[in-house]
Structure 1
């Protein structure tokens, strides 16, 4: 064997040694005689000279060797050195010179390109006969296209130039011959810039996909791309450098598009052509790296084009793809499958990237090719070697993960249940999984070297296998060979399933949840459950419960990231579903297991106290919370003072044990919060176990002072819920509670900072000042609830009300002067106090006027009088501070709550409330909301309010009319206007429906009645597609019908199959109202019916409007009889140009207005 050539690095090292010897020689000569004692300068110098001689001799031998590599030193460099100049400077100057040369060459190229384009334009203009030839030359040299692409992607180009460039490229994309220029740009040598080539091949691909190229064009394109691919990827000695990843992706996409149109006829050798590029010249192995990578990319792209089930395709494309797959299976799939084995065999251990690519391709193709091409001994041997290989330092191994993914896809291939069980058995899949679980990457589940990604990959394999096993059990008959094999495999895979389900990390656990859900669903359907399955339930349930526990590394506080907390809560929800299925399969097992988990935890607390891990207590409380879904059915926890079920009995025992264990004093926020949540969830327990109420109430009073903001604010809400549910049995504990929490009833408003307004935190994690105050309001409601129990004397109720009200009044009085001067903090303080007053009132009484309820009645007169002071205080603040919208909002909220507490005493104040709440600054939204509240007052006090309503109606209507008449700007304004219309019409309906219609035509309001009627008629006629118009129109016609019914007098005609030909004269409530109905209400109906935008045969909302119109028409007929018919026949219908006899016949003979409405629908559809 010939010796290797001497590498130039050897020369470099020897020269460095000589330079070092020369340097030492210089130093020693300079310091001759100054060396230390006992050392001769002569000896040192002689040694250095001897070492220099040896180095020179060695360099001479290397340079004289026949195997020395030729060294070419530029003469300029030698001159630099001879002149004593630094060779590094020469290098820098050379680089600068080369850069200048490149810039000069680029400038010349661009100049010649510009000259070519200018010359072409001038020649085409001056010599029209050669214009076509000139354009061909420009296109073939890529001039305009290349320049346009460079301009479009040059960040220094002006926007005007960019716009022209993009417009040119878009025109090129649409040009049927534009792709040919771009193909030349992409394949030419020397290559142009990458962006030019990328845009060019994208335009070519667009032409293939969308321009339906003819056969000749496809052949030309195929030949060009194939020649280019062989030149760049074929492995020849002079090949170009392979394209970048983005260019390769676009190239394979274009080749795939050509394949889709040419494989059936024209490019039958598609796969053979690219498979041949995997081998270097004169080789039979797949040893060409670039060609093999391109081949695998093409295989992946072909799968995506014709076999990806996640892409939506047209029926025509799907048929084409199915035909291509059938043809591919017949022609090339066996050859392709063989190439996979060859690629894996050759590149295993040489290039992991290619091996990974190949495995992923196999995993995608295996779903639609013959499984025997993959499931065979040769392929499985290679695959198992890759699966079993150990990564360095037990780190991430993408090849191993890809091999497992490939095996997972293979196992998941759709086939008959019996064949699938045979394949799983043939693969010996259970043993493979066992070996993977025992591998170093997964053996130490709690170590730092545990590979979570690998665990997730194996979990996917297990999930797919169990899914197929369950499917086989569902589809096979008892005793059949398939059922027997499936049962055997289930016994093998259940431990693996539970192993990954119980994994410390959530990713492997979440991966196997779908198959575990399928298994439990199978158990639920197989009732009664066979014995071999019953034994599986207990370990499954235990695994579910264990997985619901917080990890030992997790903490429950604000330091836990929101993502971690949200993911764990989401996992708990999924586990809860599994737990419910287990309960449905075996309720007794579920009850026993959960009872043991909860009971043992409470017993540990009694024995060890704070020594019990908070995570164990949290788990027990969480399971206890979930247990209620079984233990508290629709019949409740108790039935006739006895537990309603076995589960209820166990839950009652758990509740007793929980309270007695002293768990409320366990010093952890999660446990204290869970304790309160459970007490509220199972409030019905205390109805029969009232002896525990004082103890639990004491716990609540302590926890509302908790130092953790999340526990503290949540406890205020839970405390309110607890006392509200148990109001009837709380007893007289108000004074103690109010005294204990009086420090929490102090209001201290904090003006939010600008940053707080952008905070998008959830309600649970929002601890801003505004969110804390919202929670504080629950305390005021709770105080009102406790202070107003049935066992509390009235005088005590008044006393407790004053204990809370007086500090609020004083606080308001103190803040009012500063608020009048525009102080933001004082304004917010007033807002908070008003809200607190309203909430306290609501706690004292949840009675709703006008609605009779056995459990709710009007408060005592003394209580109403006390809260009337609160209403007066709010009015004073409102009259002083009309401008701030937040004050009006708070006052409106308080007014709603005060209605049930103050009662009819509120009515004399109503004009002041309206004046304050509906100021000139009030928005349409505010007005709509107040009208909603006013509806409640009118309905609740309909017998007392008529006098007050009569006096305030006109001012109120004027404000409404002004708002309705304002111009609309923007979508939000349109929505608010639509809401105001709806509430205005609802208010009128409430008046008409509660025997208060007389106020509309009273002496006080008579002057506005015509304006009111015009507003209703206008809204009735507006049926365009704007926001809420059709709904307002329907309500308006309903109001007109109600007015006609109320004031039209007694009926003089009745629609029937045989209508009267003569009817009595109308006797309306007001003289002339019969003519009013005919001349005002009837034309409104027909203005809508003749509107071309009104299409009740297409729009359900429009049809509901038509139903109201039909009803109004029949009411007019009922009230006016033949007077109306004669008007229609003699005047109205002729003036509109049609007879109308069919309409009159349907109106007078239809007993139901829907029949008449359907007739009108058909009539309008026919006319349309």
Structure 2
């Protein structure tokens, strides 16, 4: 062995040594005799104290066994067999005292030999291994490890095998059943009982092996008097009982005939009950209880599966027997589901869900089944309650796990609602009416759960046509009673964050209740506005209520008119900008304020006031922004400290965002013009445009201005147009690629809204914008700067999108109004985009633009010179682009671009007729050195319909490029 290379295996080796060790590893793997050297090294004992070298050697041997051993010679087989025998001796006598990871790797290596050699090349494999058991406990441990490794290779259903491996595994299992499983089962019993006192860990390991193998061996080898007696004995041994539980679980989960399965389970349960296994003491260990809960879950699910099979086979007598057996297990399920340890409870939720699904098939329910359902419902409600240990101030992993567990319980709750809606509604109503009137003397956890139950009732019993207060009369009546109690009890004054948050979530979910009984609105509004909501000491409550208030107001805006001015007055201080000057001492974060401004805007717009009053209210609402904006800009310019500069820039950006969100209250039914609020927003726009001149954090501020202008395009009419040239003028002074790209959607939005009405405005805007785009794209940048390259690519795409919007919305006069040289420049940029750019999306857009121009200008009445441009440039582009080596006909996006080029050609033929086909046949296509028959075929296809030609078009270029 290369001693120097082996030094790189230790944990303290440097990178160079590790690289050498890896090279040596690869060398030994590829060398014909490398594995032999490693096998000899491992068994020689030279490195008996170096785990890293031993593991290294085993990995090389493992690689050989996986890749080449199957085709190895007789001599190689003999060497491998001798190596395995030596391994069993070394690991069995315990002299080496190898660590577990080495022993596990040895077991894996032996299992790899086994799956190749058994049963043909090494039929006595198990005889030879069983002979080693007399050596002692270390040999027994290795034997069990090997059996577990064999299970992983041959049986484990989670490992995906190919067809050849599956056939091999079937052959191995059949041979084992015929020759060895009886001996193996006998060895397991001897090991389990022989080591239960002296080496309990070996008994546990043996129980794991039994659990793995029972799925495919004869059940009677394990489910017999002596095995079961031993298993029951182990259940009273603290060191063995968890493994015994798992083993019994695997036995009862074995696939079997349903009648036999029921009998097996009943015999096991009878014995377990007689020993009081399912009635453990209250102070029992959690890990053991989790295992018992898993066992109860397995019993229940297995019986339900057996019942389903019997139903399908129409065996009514045994179906009833199995159902009765199942019903007797429900108390066990309820006992473990209700355990205070959530891990114990969670282990049996599968049984609960499957039982509910079964009951849906046997309705109407018997009185005992209805009792079971009621017991299950109350157990679920009890378990949904927050534990005393729940930390509401600092929610960590334990809290997250409980919330996840609560979701599982909610699924069961919802399923119970589908099974018996009236029972669920009645139970929730009973719990709510019992608790809410006495909330002041009740633990907050009990209060929170009843409000939570009200909340989730809305999901469990879905709304009728989106309306909780119509449809099911039982639900409507119960919800109305509960909602009145929720408001009138003043439970929102309880104070705990969990109760408050659940209160606000619930009133918002059932906001339609307040349409029926609007007299309760003031109480809820006050809860939002005072220390229960926006002014709560908890930032979490303040933040969530900001959002929920927005939803509440939107749902009830027609009822808010009488409260509008009072609400605006009470939130006045919450509208103040959060700036570096006030040290961010604001109750609400920037994001929370967005919801407050939006909600206030909705209230003003939805009010019954005349336009003059709405304008006044809106100006007052926006005053904190209007009054402070320019001062903040000035401080941004004057500030030298970079951190403070960024803080002011974020503040300015946020101010614009707040104004944008305020405009969300307007709609097509209540426009800005109808509400008389145009002046309030255009005055702000004038101020905001000053931010475009900023010398610092330009990108951040431009985002704010653009966002606001996008909103104004939506809300204003032509009043927005005078401001766009000012914005563009500032933008074009020192444009950055991304800024320019981000500005294009705003222009596109204007075109889409105003269409041909925007022509005079676009005429003057068009060429300065296009020239700036060309200039920015052509400015050289570092070839290694991938970000800059991507930004230029996006700008090119944005430019083509701009032209596409112009032609799609038929603003052709803008293009016609450009000087001839300028129009030629634009048209040639489209040719370049279609042919030269390696960007299928841009290519597709360019061909699409040409197709629309052809439809308008391609005839004899088109603009001067366009016909020549079609023949000299567009037609060649339709061939040159697809013929390029970089044009990948197998790529989906590229295929779309090819389809557009086909439609382009078709549009030219539609406009110019037979002259195009004659030109292609006699002039252009022969210049491409294409075979005459292919030219003839192409021209013939051009005379067909568009769909047929598009399909042929791809075939043509596939042939032309081959």
Tell me the TM-score normalized by structure 1.
Answer: 0.77
Give 1:374 shift.
0.6
How far apart, in 2, do the equivalents of 1:634 and 1:1094 lie? 54
Partner residue of 1:321 out of 169, 172, 175: 169
How far apart, in 2, do the equivalents of 1:649 and 1:1112 lie? 65
Question: Does structure 1 conserve the Cα–Cα contact (< 8 Å) formed by 2:598 and 2:665?
Answer: no
Partner residue of 1:538 out of 350, 353, 374: 374
Helix, strand or coil at the partner of 2:323: helix
How far apart, in 1, do the equivalents of 2:811 and 2:230 lie? 90
How far apart, in 2, do the equivalents of 1:497 and 1:375 lie? 24
Residue pairs, 1:725-1124, within 5 angstroms: 725-750=555-580, 772-823=589-640, 824-825=643-644, 828-829=647-648, 831-840=650-659, 842-844=661-663, 846-847=665-666, 853=668, 855-860=669-674, 862-881=676-695, 883-917=697-731, 920=734, 922-924=736-738, 926-942=739-755, 944-965=757-778, 967=781, 969=784, 972-973=787-788, 975-1003=790-818, 1006-1022=820-836, 1024=838, 1029-1049=839-859, 1066-1068=860-862, 1070-1096=863-889, 1098-1124=890-916
Helix, strand or coil at the partner of 1:706: coil
Task: Summarize the Cα distance change of 1:630–1:302 in structure 2 as closer, same or farther, 3 Å threshold.
Answer: closer
Q: Which residue of 2 aligns with 1:220?
A: 79
Q: Which has the larger radius of gyration?
A: 1
Superposition RMSD in Å: 2.9
CA deviation profile, 1:375-424 (whole Å, cap 9, x unmatched): 111111111101122x3xxxxx3x21111111111111111211111111
How far apart, in 2, do the equivalents of 1:492 and 1:1114 lie? 76
Helix, strand or coil at the partner of 1:279: helix
How far apart, in 1, do the equivalents of 2:495 and 2:587 lie? 28
How far apart, in 2, do the equivalents of 1:261 and 1:771 lie? 69
How far apart, in 2, do the equivalents of 1:882 and 1:220 lie? 76
Where structure 1 has 5 or more consecutive residues not aligned to the other structure, the ranges are 1-144, 281-287, 392-396, 754-766, 1050-1065
How far apart, in 2, do the equivalents of 1:524 and 1:620 lie? 27
Aligned residue pairs, count: 947
Question: Does structure 2 conserve the Cα–Cα contact (< 8 Å) formed by 1:816 and 1:826?
Answer: no
Q: Which residue of 1 aligns with 2:501?
A: 673
CA deviation profile, 1:822-877 (whole Å, cap 9, x unmatched): 455366446435533553454345447xxxx4x34343474101221101111123
Give 1:742 shift.
1.4
Give 1:790 shift.
3.7
Give 1:901 shift.
4.2
Per mean C-alpha deviation after superposition, the further-off stretch among 646-655 and 668-677 is 646-655
CA deviation profile, 1:900-920 (whole Å, cap 9, x unmatched): 444322211111222345663
How far apart, in 1, do the equivalents of 2:908 and 2:275 lie? 86
How far apart, in 2, do the equivalents of 1:625 and 1:980 lie? 49
Question: Does structure 2 conserve the Cα–Cα contact (< 8 Å) formed by 1:827 and 1:887?
Answer: no
Task: Summarize the Cα distance change of 1:216–1:768 in structure 2 as closer, same or farther, 3 Å threshold.
Answer: farther
Q: Which residue of 2 aligns with 1:410?
A: 251
Question: Does structure 2 conserve the Cα–Cα contact (< 8 Å) formed by 1:835 and 1:894?
Answer: no
Helix, strand or coil at the partner of 1:941: helix
Tell me the TM-score normalized by structure 2.
Answer: 0.92
How far apart, in 2, do the equivalents of 1:473 and 1:155 lie? 57
How far apart, in 1, do the equivalents of 2:752 and 2:154 lie? 67
CA deviation profile, 1:179-229 (whole Å, cap 9, x unmatched): 222222222256654233332233223222222222222223313431453
Give 1:540 shift.
1.8
How far apart, in 2, do the equivalents of 1:303 and 1:650 lie? 56
How far apart, in 1, do the equivalents of 2:484 and 2:799 lie? 54
Q: Which residue of 1 aligns with 2:486?
A: 658
- Whether 2:71 is the aligned partner of 1:210: answer no
Helix, strand or coil at the partner of 1:438: coil
Partner residue of 1:620 out of 439, 450, 465: 450
Q: Which residue of 2 aligns with 1:714?
A: 544
Task: Summarize the Cα distance change of 1:856–1:976 in structure 2 as closer, same or farther, 3 Å threshold.
Answer: farther
CA deviation profile, 1:483-539 (whole Å, cap 9, x unmatched): 133112212211111222222222122222222222222223445556664443222
Helix, strand or coil at the partner of 1:437: coil
Task: Summarize the Cα distance change of 1:327–1:1012 in structure 2 as closer, same or farther, 3 Å threshold.
Answer: same
Task: Summarize the Cα distance change of 1:1103–1:529 in structure 2 as closer, same or farther, 3 Å threshold.
Answer: farther
Helix, strand or coil at the partner of 1:476: helix
Question: Does structure 2 conserve the Cα–Cα contact (< 8 Å) formed by 1:781 and 1:842?
Answer: yes
Give 1:923 shift.
4.2
- Whether 2:406 is the aligned partner of 1:576: answer no
Q: Which residue of 2 aligns with 1:1144?
A: 939
Q: Which residue of 1 aligns with 2:268?
A: 427
Give 1:1040 shift.
0.9
CA deviation profile, 1:593-642 (whole Å, cap 9, x unmatched): 2222333333333xxxx222221222122222222235553523278xx6
- Whether 2:242 is the aligned partner of 1:401: answer yes
Residue pairs, 1:249-328, within 5 angstroms: 249-280=104-135, 288-328=136-176
Q: Which residue of 1 aligns with 2:28?
A: 172
Task: Summarize the Cα distance change of 1:500–1:984 in structure 2 as closer, same or farther, 3 Å threshold.
Answer: farther
Residue pairs, 1:4-153, within 5 angstroms: 145=1, 147-153=3-9
Segments of 4+ in structure 1 off by > 6 A?
155-158, 767-771
How far apart, in 2, do the equivalents of 1:775 and 1:362 lie? 59
Q: Which residue of 2 aligns with 1:198?
A: 55
Q: Which residue of 1 aligns with 2:319?
A: 483
How far apart, in 2, do the equivalents of 1:1046 and 1:307 lie? 70
Question: Does structure 2 conserve the Cα–Cα contact (< 8 Å) formed by 1:931 and 1:983?
Answer: yes
Question: Does structure 1 conserve the Cα–Cα contact (< 8 Å) formed by 2:9 and 2:53?
Answer: no
Q: Which residue of 2 aligns with 1:515?
A: 351
- Whether 2:367 is the aligned partner of 1:367: answer no
Give 1:316 shift.
1.4
Structure with the bigger RCO (C-alpha within 8 Å, sep 6+) is 2
Q: Which residue of 2 aligns with 1:611?
A: 441
Question: Does structure 1 conserve the Cα–Cα contact (< 8 Å) formed by 2:657 and 2:707?
Answer: yes
Partner residue of 1:560 out of 390, 395, 401: 395
How far apart, in 2, do the equivalents of 1:1086 and 1:547 lie? 71
How far apart, in 1, do the equivalents of 2:614 and 2:322 lie? 71
Question: Does structure 1 conserve the Cα–Cα contact (< 8 Å) formed by 2:8 and 2:14?
Answer: no
CA deviation profile, 1:297-321 (whole Å, cap 9, x unmatched): 2222222222222212222122112
Task: Summarize the Cα distance change of 1:454–1:1022 in structure 2 as closer, same or farther, 3 Å threshold.
Answer: farther
Give 1:709 shift.
0.6
